[in-house]
């Protein structure tokens, strides 16, 4: 006997779409599908929606710096308020293709998961996002020294001013170093891509810390400064006034007796090796395809690209967001909307006329 179906029922005229992943990409697509009259099963592995964006802090100083983190709340709201979207957090989906349909079993991810929910889907939307590169694979002291952390771990601390200071005994750290491109643009490990978010995220975080604690000195070690936002020249000029920006790649980190972390690097100008000690080292660990993506993609019949990211489209399977390649939040939203409309077109729900600029695709018939 089949387990009970607990999601709202769907019919041939109102098909169901299975959305895997409840980050910005999955939330955006789920809202588009529901507005178009479809039923949606949104399956999120972790216990809460939002994906990585839910861990980001607001970087406003005396003004908004357009980091995009607050785009999450309206996306969550649109999903929470929609009766056509059945949200399954803390859950995983087992999917079996049956002709041009998908039989899905949605099961709680915890050991004593209970009875699975079954649903039949006309299409699958893959929005399972990215993993953060584990910097323990580099000799940068991560996992060895407590004051070597990732940018995502810094975000956790920056979400509250007290949380940040608590990590340093109530006083702001005197000297912080940010190391860019950790696990990105690195041919040694086959990560040839730029992760796109991390230069801007670093500079905004560094300026936020300086705004709160002007006595803290911040150095950013970089290869190139990429994708730094809407007005790059003005923003970079502000950063150069406020931060020390050094084009160099420190290769190793060593703990010092007084609890600091010593970095050394080659200085192009003087042709000498330099070194300096910092109270906190923040590693801009980039994005990589999640380890379980090959298995998920194979189950869905979706190809991967040569670098291991998901292809855009398979048979009734559509992928969007950072599961396809590194993307910022704004890019993820745009990518997810485009892919959602392609899925609606494949189901005959809309007609899409592509203009020369894909972002300006004219969409007709969306209810």
- Contact positions toward ligand FAD, by CB under 6 A? 20-26, 43-46, 51-53, 56, 67-69, 92, 127-130, 132, 151-152, 155, 197, 201, 296, 321-322, 327-330, 332
Least CB distance from residue 25 to ligand SF4, whole Å? 18
Least CB distance from residue 194 to ligand FAD, whole Å? 13
Pick between residue 227 and residue 264 the one whose CB is nearest to ligand FAD. Answer: 227
With CB under 5 to 8 Å by kind, the binding choice for 250 among ligand SF4, ligand FAD, none is none
Partners of residue 121 on adjacent β-strands: 102
With CB under 5 to 8 Å by kind, the binding choice for 32 among ligand SF4, ligand FAD, none is none
Least CB distance from residue 219 to ligand SF4, whole Å? 14
- Among 194, 162, 191, smallest CA distance to 180 is for 194
- Among 28, 40, 20, smallest CA distance to 295 is for 20
With CB under 5 to 8 Å by kind, the binding choice for 60 among ligand SF4, ligand FAD, none is ligand SF4
Least CB distance from residue 227 to ligand SF4, whole Å? 6
Round to whole Å and give the CA distance between 82 and 20.
Answer: 17
Could you tell me if 28 and 332 are in contact, meaning their C-beta atoms sit under 8 angstroms apart? Answer: yes
With CB under 5 to 8 Å by kind, the binding choice for 45 among ligand FAD, ligand SF4, none is ligand FAD
Residue 325 has φ and ψ, to the nearest 5°, of 180, 165
Residue pointed to by tokens 């697509």: 29
Pick between residue 207 and residue 349 the one whose CB is nearest to ligand SF4. Answer: 207
DSSP string, 306-342: TTSPBPSEETTEEE-GGGTS---HHHHHHHHHHHHHH
Per DSSP, the three-state class of 268 is: coil
> Which residues, 6 or more positions from 120, have their beta carbon under 8 angstroms from its beta carbon?
10, 16, 101, 102, 103, 104
Least CB distance from residue 204 to ligand SF4, whole Å? 7
With CB under 5 to 8 Å by kind, the binding choice for 312 among ligand FAD, ligand SF4, none is none
Sequence-distant contacts of 153-156: CB under 8 A, at least 24 apart: 154/205, 154/282, 155/55, 155/56, 155/57, 155/205, 156/55
CA atoms within 13 A on the CB side of 337: 14
Pick between residue 42 and residue 67 the one whose CB is nearest to ligand SF4. Answer: 67
With CB under 5 to 8 Å by kind, the binding choice for 22 among ligand SF4, ligand FAD, none is ligand FAD
Residues at the interface with ligand SF4 (CB under 6 A):
58-60, 64-70, 180-181, 184-185, 194-196, 198-199, 223-224, 226-227, 284, 286
What tokens were used for 119? 């649903």
Least CB distance from residue 191 to ligand SF4, whole Å? 9
Least CB distance from residue 145 to ligand SF4, whole Å? 21
With CB under 5 to 8 Å by kind, the binding choice for 296 among ligand SF4, ligand FAD, none is ligand FAD
Q: Report the relative pairing of strands 317-319 and 313-314 from DSSP bridges.
A: antiparallel
What tokens were used for 67? 């980091």
């Amino acid at each position: 006997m089949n387990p009970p179906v607990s999601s709202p029922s769907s019919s041939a005229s109102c098909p169901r779409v299975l959305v895997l992943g409840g980050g910005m990409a999955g939330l955006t697509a789920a809202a588009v599908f529901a507005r178009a009259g479809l039923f949606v099963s949104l399956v999120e592995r972790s216990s809460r929606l939002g994906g990585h964006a839910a861990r980001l802090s607001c970087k406003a100083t005396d003004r908004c710096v357009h980091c995009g983190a607050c785009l999450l709340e309206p996306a969550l709201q649109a999903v929470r308020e929609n009766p056509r979207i059945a949200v399954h957090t803390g859950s995983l989906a087992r999917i079996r293709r049956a002709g041009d349909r998908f039989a899905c079993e949605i099961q709680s991810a915890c050991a004593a998961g209970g009875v699975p929910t079954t649903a039949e889907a006309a299409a699958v939307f893959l929005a399972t996002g990215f993993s953060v590169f584990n910097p323990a694979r580099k000799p940068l002291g991560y996992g060895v020294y407590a004051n070597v952390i990732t940018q995502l771990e810094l975000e956790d601390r920056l979400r509250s001013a007290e949380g940040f200071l608590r990590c340093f005994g109530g006083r702001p750290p005197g000297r912080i170093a940010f190391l860019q491109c950790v696990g990105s643009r690195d041919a040694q490990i086959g990560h040839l891509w730029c992760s796109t978010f991390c230069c801007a995220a670093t500079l905004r975080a560094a300026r936020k810390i300086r705004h709160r604690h002007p006595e803290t000195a911040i150095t950013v070690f970089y290869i190139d400064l990429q994708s730094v936002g809407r007005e790059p020249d003005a923003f970079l000029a502000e950063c150069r006034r406020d931060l020390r920006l050094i084009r160099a790649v420190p290769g190793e980190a060593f703990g010092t007796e007084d609890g600091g972390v010593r970095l050394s690097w080659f200085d192009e100008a003087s042709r000498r090796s330099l070194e300096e000690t910092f109270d906190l080292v923040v590693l801009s660990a980039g994005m990589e395809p999640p380890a379980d993506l090959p298995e998920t993609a194979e189950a869905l019949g979706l190809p991967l690209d040569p670098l291991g990211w998901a292809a855009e489209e398979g048979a009734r399977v559509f992928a969007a967001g950072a599961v396809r390649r590194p993307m910022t939040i704004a890019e993820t939203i745009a990518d997810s909307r485009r892919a959602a409309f392609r899925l609606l077109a494949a189901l005959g729900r809309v007609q899409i006329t592509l203009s020369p600029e894909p972002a300006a695709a004219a969409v007709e018939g969306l209810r």
